[in-house]
Chain A
Amino acid sequence: MADGGGKPLQSAMKMAKQAIQLEGADRQQEAYCQYLRTINYISHILLQEETQGEVERMLRVAEQCLDRAKSFIGKRYVHPVNPVLHNASCSSADQSEAEPGPKAGDSTSGAEGQVDASSPFGLSDDGGQPSSFPPPDVFQRQQTEASHDCRRKTLTPVEEASRQNQKLQASYEARVARLAPGQASQKTSLTLSLQRQMMENLIIARARQDALQRKVEERRQRLQDEANRRFAASGALTAEEQEQRLLYARVLEYELDHDWPKQWRTNIKKNPDASLVLDLLSYLLRSDHPLVELLRKHQFRIYNQLYPIITQSLPQSLPQSLPQSLPQSLPQSPALPLRSSRSNHVRLSPERNPTRTSSSLDSEDAAQRDDSFEDLEHFLSQLDSAPRGGLQAELTFDPSVELEQLELRALKEHLKAIVRDVHGAIDQLLSLCLLSFDCLNTAAYKDLSLGCIEEAFFTPLWSPLLALFRRVLREREQLFQRNMTLYCSTSPAEVGVPLKLFPQDPGTLQGSYPYEVAVQELKLLVEDRCPQRKLDCVVRTLRLICGCAEDYRNQQGGGASRAAAIGADDLLPILSFVLLRCQCPQLLSECAALEEFIHESFLIGEEGYCLTSLQSALAYVESLPARADLADPE
């Protein structure tokens, strides 16, 4: 596999140079972060592998970066970027902030402290995993390390010969060392014979390698023909089909060298059974099959696209307090109409902005919108919260807002492209999988295959993908976070849960609060790395809610009559309550990402219903007024 980004030392130097440039341009904050990132990268590399000879130079680069980073401690807090601290007493801020110092461990969060400390939109995950993303070449190395054991590669003839020559050299040196000082002629002859042997070894090896190469070429051609025959039906080839043929030829070639695919195939034919199919899939995904190579290639490519976007430090013009960002966030639709396959007029983004100053993204379908559904309540609640923010926005208006909008647009485009890419990659992987093992090509096994492929595909990519979603949805997340804070101790009744569906007497809950099990379950969602598992978590949460609701009602002697079963009218208020208690702002982006990545066939069933309900509740929590008294539930 190709090395991701040149030699580590060069990459490190490049990173350091960027930092110096940033510092030169007086972008202190970014420069500081970049220095730390460089140090981080270097220690990453040094921990990972034995870099011959470069260790010292790498460490020197790190040392210099560390020196530069230290020099920031004094000045970064008096930088004009942070007007608030200007007014406050600088020295005390200095001390409290500088004391921990830029330790390697918390480097990123410390450096981006302005943004991260208040953390509604910091990119660090709340799930407790490392907040910085490894550079793409490290990512790639981790990818291959994961399956190192099964990559016991056989040596090519030339490699084998050079290994032999090393041995020869070693024994030669041993013999020379044993020679008495006077035996110079013997030494010459030993040297000569060594050289001759080594030369011969190499020549033989080269000849063998050439022969092998020719054979491989011939075989490859033959297999390519075979692959072409299999796809023969259609006339003109698209680039996609061409690629698929090549891939299939690779699979055929692989199977000539490996027996296991055939064995699995006969096993499954003999005993078609879902658990056997799952075994095959997990074996396949841990092997060095061309499918796995393709998987890695796609993952690496997507990570490579993501990395520069998600590691870019946030622009300094970011709104840092909520009131400022509020008026900009309102015109944003609550759900991005990202999915291109959705029909145009299924709008995911109802217009909630009463002033109709929709951003240009929304304006095209604004015309289609009907007033009849405009929610008076929303209208009023937003009027309530808008003036304060609106005034401030006018006072503080500056071109950076424009810039921000532009940047957001660009980010959205990136996101769209990456989502499309991910779908393309998974489609290609699935079809190669089904081509390689046609025994999997039944409705049920296809789903299993897709599930396994998705799990392998998303596990290393979810965090960076989510980081991108969080960036794009930052303003909504801020709003969501604000409301979660404002309403964290709200009672179920205040969000419209009927009295019969939660215990009135707090004593019956023994120190807990209603629906706590559902809250605990939902909190687990961020731990999983695979969309399907996350979706299962959403379903479990909703089931728990229904279970709790039924218990509470029975406790109050409501009787278990069927007619009183929980419907959406009850479910959504409870779900909103659960969300408020969950205190997990990234759920918003998690759901948006799930919606993009979940296989369509799940969207019609229970899973789809649960995800839709959760999104609906999220939108409701976002729309809560800034005042602490809630609008009338009805």
Chain B
Amino acid sequence: MATAGAAGTSGRTYSFKVVLLGEGCVGKTSLVLRYCENKFNDKHITTLQASFLTKKLNITGKRVNLAIWDTAGQERFHALGPIYYRDSNGAILVYDITDEDSFEKVKNWVKELRKMLGNEICLCIVGNKIDLDKDRHVSVEDAESYAESVGAKHYHTSAKLNKGIEELFLDLCKRMMETAQAEERAKGNGASQSASNRRGVQIVDDEPQATPAGGCCSSG
């Protein structure tokens, strides 16, 4: 769907939208701040602080612009959740390994995202706070097998210790690039004609995905 529209239209620069989902205190803001601070220090923190962040990357010679959209974890703001997710290329679903509820919430979001965006969105399920492993309430096996069953990849991170975060984003970017490239190939070379119908192109091949468990993203 929107993937091809967002990526690859202007030169070799990919623009990806990634939504960040997770309950209130799972540490998703720390995670993303850690990532955006690390390499390029503060200038990548926009004036919207941790709610909207951008990052520029260079992966195997290709430029990637990442826009990271934080979403509110509170239930009462979920009514319009879908307008946050739409046109996303990737989603990072964070739970706290010491909090089983937060993992259940992740499952809900996975369902929702698959339903909205089909299999074209690359899902990352992230167990955060691995520095608190002694209080772990979500077992590694459960989490990983669940992730596999829904075509997502699972990661272990600690925002506090800055562990696993760089890998998470790098991996996600690579998968999103693969998805975008595959889509470009599938579309053939029709892209050159679509200069002026900026809004018309996206609806055409947009059949609802009937099998949410399929895994286009598992190749990464």
Contact = CB atoms under 8 A, between A and B. Distances in A.
A67 interface: no
A427 B86 contact: no
Candidate in B28, B49, B74 with the most chain A CB atoms within 10 angstroms? B49
Contact of A346 (B30, B79, B117): B117
Nearest to B29: A567
Contacts of B82: 346-348, 350
A518 to B, nearest CB: 13
A352 B74 CA distance: 16
Interface in B42-82: 45-52, 54, 67, 69-82
A610 B49 CA distance: 12
Contact of B112 (A373, A600, A613, A620): A373
A339 B202 CA distance: 11
A13 B112 CA distance: 59
Interface of A: 334-335, 339-348, 350, 352, 368, 370, 372-373, 375, 377-378, 423, 427, 430-431, 443, 496, 542-543, 546-547, 549-550, 562-563, 565-569, 571-573, 599-601, 603-606, 609-610, 612-613, 615-617, 619-620, 623, 631, 633-634
B220 interface: no
B6 interface: yes
B209 to A, nearest CB: 8
Tell me the interface secondary structure of chain A in the complex.
Answer: helix
Given A616-B80, A616-B84, A567 B200 contact: no
Nearest to A618: B80
Nearest to A609: B52
Contacts of A610: 48, 52
Candidate in A348, A565, A623, A631 with the most chain B CB atoms within 10 angstroms? A565
Contacts of B126: none
Interface in B1-58: 1, 5-6, 10, 15, 17, 20, 24, 28-30, 33, 37, 45-52, 54
Nearest to B17: A604
Contacts of A549: 49
Contact of A372 (B51, B108, B117): B108
B67 A604 contact: yes
B55 to A, nearest CB: 13
Contacts of A601: 198
Q: Chain B, interface size: which category?
A: 35 or more
A350 B29 contact: no
A342 B206 CA distance: 9
Given A431-B196, A565-B50, A372 B111 contact: yes
Contacts of B95: none
Contacts of A547: 47
Given A542-B48, A604-B15, A568 B199 contact: no
Given A543-B48, A567-B49, A571-B51, 5 more contacts: A339-B199, A346-B85, A567-B28, A568-B71, A569-B72
B72 A616 contact: yes
Contact of A566 (B37, B50, B81, B87): B50
B80 A615 contact: yes
Contacts of B80: 334-335, 348, 350, 612, 615-616, 619
